[in-house]
Amino acid sequence: MPSNEHKKALRIALTIATCMLSAKLLNFNSPVYLALYPTITLTRGVSFSWRALISTFTPVLLASFCAVIVAESFRQHPFVIWTISLFYIDFLCRRADTPIKRAKLLLPCFSWILVVIYASHSDKPLFGLLRETALSMVITCIVIRGYLWIFNEAVQSAAPRIIPAQPVSAASRGTALLLIGSGLAILMIIDLLSAMFCMVPIIAAATQVNREQFVTTVRLRFMTQVGGCALAVIFSLLFAHQQTTILAYAVALVGLIYALARLFTQAEGLKRDIHADGLLATLLPIQLYLAHNNLALERTFLRAWELTITLFVLFVLHQLSSTRQKEPCHAQPPR
């Protein structure tokens, strides 16, 4: 029903906008969590019961906590931190033998990487970051449940689906370690925090089990990430130095999210995934730029450029490997 789609899109828009504005009003040092968590939960989640929300965020919180312990314990030994990170990434990849598990891998893996990169270029205690992470999860859950109650929507339990497990091959695990580990090493060496979110498409592509899914993911992320950054630039230009006017900013933010969420609710299949990724790619740079008054607009342009280069490199690697695999073997016949 169109009315149901309108109602769902409005609920998504109000939920995400409320979370994003909460980070601004509470003056979070890392406001991006309150754009990342609600957007992924609402576009990827099946059930929004308390049990489902807790099961979604518990691995993320544990990953952040363990990453803080590792980073604080070995702050003077970055190679040790990087090696432990590889073991953790391999642990996640080895367990991701179904599409649902691969989708749930993104947030814990990225949360670990975010803490490690932040620790590599900051002398500040990491427990403040962990506190904001946990608080962002609590706010996200409360806001999601609150708007479900306001819109009088029944909480549907996720129906159990039996999906045959596909064992993760050593080659797939090696590819994931190579791509994610290389990206992590570069960002630990180079102080370029704006490139941190380039790891999101790398994680999504590296954890695919075959070449077709790999290239499809890269092409999808290329369209959504770069296009989302372009849309965020336009929105940021319209509100340059005006983001302190909370009411106008809130109305415009709700309108933007509603327009994108309406496309998401009306789509199905691959188009639904495209609109979900586009929504996330648009809101992350907006939250990174407009949540603080001291950030420059060129950060958003820089993020779009970094994402373009990252996805181009992934696509070239795929093309080279697939071309090499398709080369015929010209064996000399025996004389």
This prediction has a pTM of 0.83
Find the Cα–Cα–Cα–Cα dihedral 110, 114, 117, 123, rounded to 10°.
-160
Judge whether residue 1 has pLDDT over 50.
Answer: no
The more confident residue out of 26 and 315 is 26
- The reported pLDDT for the residue numbered 329 is 42
- The reported pLDDT for the residue numbered 148 is 92
CA distances from 194 to 32, 33, 103, 283, 286 (A): 12, 15, 24, 15, 13
Name residue, tokens 């992350």: 284
Sign for the pseudo-dihedral over CA of 128, 67, 221, 190: positive
Name residue, tokens 């570069």: 186
The more confident residue out of 1 and 56 is 56
38 vs 61: CA distance, rounded Å: 15
Judge whether residue 325 has pLDDT over 60.
Answer: no
- Mean pLDDT value across residues 18-31: 89
CA distances from 252 to 19, 40, 124, 284, 303 (A): 15, 21, 35, 16, 22
Burial bucket for residue 241 (CB in 10 Å: 0-12, 13-18, 19+): exposed
- The reported pLDDT for the residue numbered 215 is 76
- The reported pLDDT for the residue numbered 10 is 94
Burial bucket for residue 283 (CB in 10 Å: 0-12, 13-18, 19+): buried
> 14, 147 in Cβ contact below 8 A?
yes
252 vs 262: CA distance, rounded Å: 15
The more confident residue out of 254 and 287 is 254
- Over its C-alpha atoms, the chain yields an Rg (Å, rounded) of 21
Cβ count near 79 (within 10 Å)? 10
Q: Each residue of 71-91: pLDDT tens digit?
A: 999 988 999 999 999 999 999
Percent of the chain with pLDDT over 70: 79
| The one-letter amino acid at 141 | C
Q: Each residue of 107-146: pLDDT tens digit?
A: 999 899 989 988 888 777 788 889 999 999 999 999 999 9
> 274, 220 in Cβ contact below 8 A?
yes
Q: Each residue of 165-224: pLDDT tens digit?
A: 777 788 888 888 988 999 899 888 887 666 677 788 788 888 877 777 777 777 787 778
Strands, E, within 14-97: which ranges? none
